[in-house]
């Protein structure tokens, strides 16, 4: 069974907090791929260009990229690989157990995908609820104007931040500090 992957604001929220997934991609041939990613949907689309029919069968989330990379590297080193196809000969279930065992052995805490997705959806709903009231009252007009001005200036410098990310940062900092925080936050 394929996982439900984060989309839209959920993807943005996960990106802001920098947590990284260690995933198992299952192939129809009972082989697998183990990797790590900040954006599972983007990774799935990229992997499917190389391996038709691949699906992400499980994912665990680590605190940061270095922990996720460490786990994925160790799992890939321990399991047998196909000599020509760059895939693991192990099936998805075996690769999943190896991720769990490797993380436990290394003392790296992992959170299962369903828990992360549930927490993310809850947080996004909370943010949207908190923003709905000021938006209805017209208080986000200044935010939208500041964001547009920053976006035009940042585009010339080759930088960028999505509107969803800017709104999430607004919620973290509060609307009273918006005018000074928006351009500074974009440089992070």
Closest CA to 17 of 127, 99, 97, 102: 127
One domain for residues 30 and 94: yes
The pLDDT of residue 167 is 65
Query: Which H or E run includes 109?
Result: none
- Structural domain ending residue among the three candidates 97, 112, 127: 112
Judged by average pLDDT, the poorest of 2-16, 59-73, 120-134, 155-169 is 155-169
Phi and psi torsions of 149, nearest 5° = -65, -45
Let me know how many helices (H) and strands (E) the chain has, helices first: 8, 4
Percentage with pLDDT > 90 across the chain:
54
Other C-beta atoms within 10 Å of 167: how many?
20
One domain for residues 30 and 79: yes
Question: Does residue 156 fall inside a structural domain?
Answer: yes
Closest CA to 183 of 139, 146, 156: 146
CA distances from 180 to 20, 105, 148, 175 (A): 30, 45, 14, 10
- Structural domain ending residue among the three candidates 112, 134, 161: 112
Instruction: State the residue range of the domain holding 52.
Output: 9-112
One domain for residues 87 and 45: yes
Question: Does residue 38 fall inside a structural domain?
Answer: yes
Give me the torsion for CA of 24, 11, 2, 47, rounded to 10°. Answer: -50
Residue 183 in this model has a pLDDT that exceeds 70: no
Q: How far apart are the first and last CA of the chain?
A: 37
Reported as a single tens digit per residue, the pLDDT across 35-79 is 999 999 999 999 999 999 999 999 999 999 999 999 999 999 999
Provide Rg for the chain, Cα atoms: 20
- Structural domain ending residue among the three candidates 63, 97, 112: 112
Secondary structure class of 112 (helix, strand, coil)? strand
pTM as predicted = 0.71
Closest CA to 92 of 119, 137, 54, 65: 54
Residue with tokens 């930088």: 159
CA distance 157 to 178: 21
């Amino acid at each position: 069974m394929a996982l439900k992957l984060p989309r839209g604001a959920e993807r943005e929220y996960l990106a802001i907090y920098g947590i990284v997934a260690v995933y198992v991609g299952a192939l129809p041939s009972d082989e697998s791929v183990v990797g790590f990613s900040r954006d599972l949907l983007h990774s799935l689309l990229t992997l499917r260009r190389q391996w038709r029919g691949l699906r992400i069968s499980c994912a665990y989330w680590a605190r940061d990229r270095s922990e996720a990379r460490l786990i994925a590297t160790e799992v890939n080193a321990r399991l047998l690989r196909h000599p020509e196809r760059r895939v693991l000969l192990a099936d998805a279930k075996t690769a999943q157990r190896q991720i769990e065992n490797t993380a436990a052995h290394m003392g790296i805490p992992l959170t299962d995908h369903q828990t992360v997705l549930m927490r993310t959806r809850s947080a996004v709903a909370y943010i949207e609820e908190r923003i709905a009231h000021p938006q209805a009252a017209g208080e986000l007009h200044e935010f939208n104007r500041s964001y547009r001005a920053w976006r035009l200036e940042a585009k010339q410098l080759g930088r960028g931040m999505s509107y969803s990310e800017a709104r999430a940062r607004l919620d973290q900092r509060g609307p009273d500090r918006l005018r000074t925080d928006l351009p500074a936050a974009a440089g992070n």
